[in-house]
Amino acid sequence: MVSGIILAGGAGGGMRTRNRALLPYEGERILDRQIRLMSELCREIVVVTGAPKSYLPVVSPPVRIVSDYMPGRGALGGLAAGLSLAQQRYAWVVGSDMPKLSPAAARLMLTRLSDHLDAVWPSDGDGPHPLHGLYDCECAPRVAAMVEEGRASLADLPRRLRWGEVSASEFSQHGISFDFVETVRGTKAHAGPLGGGAAAGATGGVSGGATGGSTEDMAENMTENMTRGMMQGAAEGATESITEGIPQGMAEMWRAETQSIRV
């Protein structure tokens, strides 16, 4: 019934954007933690990325890695790809740098999805949060149309989709902390004001303890180096989970690229 979609960035976002998913958090990689938590609700987990080679050594079936076939179009392009390739009717969509996912929050939002809504999002004083939202995958063509129009920000979604919300106070009434919308940097992944001033995609309002730039750069550079080392040990045949659901031409391209990183 529900697909779990992790938006893991693309080649246009640089290694730092992609590899936040591989940073450690409470003893495990953020990506591993997300897969574990999302598996409590989701029948499949899909990682959407424009740089699938980065995830070859760390993601195994049945988790699917699919190519962001709208590369360089930001989180909105990844969302369009994920919703289009999901195998279930509904999708729980998160950013790859969100370590505090809440299956309980996702279940509550799922109960609010109906035939007249495209999405249900958590919402607080900062506005709606399209990441950690529940989507009807049938809205994929509308999201793809937005990308083709040149839009790349999640801040455009509230004006184009039919959406409902579950407020922070309602989550609290159900005993659910609202910290599930926070990223690893201590920021909230929200859409920004609805009145026009678009926020910068998934890094909108700050909630307290955002880390300093130098510490973050050091951690992410370390992760990049570790990833390069792990890529040398990518197992034979691992491209099958990556190329699943990708048009044939792109699948052949990724297989060719993957051969170049194998020992």
Maximum CA extent, the chain? 54
Q: What is the pTM of this model?
A: 0.72
DSSP 3-state assignment of 103? helix
Distance CA 201, CA 25 (A): 23
Instruction: Look at residue 230 in the predicted model and tell me its pLDDT.
Output: 40
Task: Provide the domain limits for residue 62.
Answer: 2-259
Instruction: Look at residue 69 in the predicted model and tell me its pLDDT.
Output: 76
Q: Where residue 101 sits, what CATH number does that domain have?
A: 3.90.550.10
Instruction: Look at residue 51 in the predicted model and tell me its pLDDT.
Output: 86
Instruction: Look at residue 68 in the predicted model and tell me its pLDDT.
Output: 85
Instruction: Look at residue 186 in the predicted model and tell me its pLDDT.
Output: 67
Peptide bond into 247 cis (omega under 30): no
Number of structural domains (the chain) is 1
Residue 120: name the closest of 108, 129, 133 by CA.
133
Q: 6 and 31 in contact (C-beta within 8 Å)?
A: yes
Residue 52: name the closest of 234, 249, 210 by CA.
234
Would you give per-residue pLDDT tens digits along the chain (263 residues)? 999 999 998 554 443 444 789 999 999 999 999 999 999 999 999 999 988 888 988 999 999 999 887 777 889 999 999 999 999 999 999 999 999 999 999 999 999 999 999 999 999 999 999 999 999 999 999 999 999 998 778 999 999 999 999 999 999 999 999 999 999 886 565 554 333 323 323 323 222 233 333 334 444 444 444 444 344 333 334 444 444 444 444 344 334 433 333 32
Structure tokens at 9: 């960035």
Distance CA 263, CA 254 (A): 17
Strands (E), the chain: 2-7, 24-25, 28-29, 44-49, 64-67, 90-95, 119-124, 127-128, 133-136, 163-167
Instruction: Look at residue 221 in the predicted model and tell me its pLDDT.
Output: 42
Pairing of strands 28-29, 24-25: antiparallel
Instruction: Look at residue 29 in the predicted model and tell me its pLDDT.
Output: 95
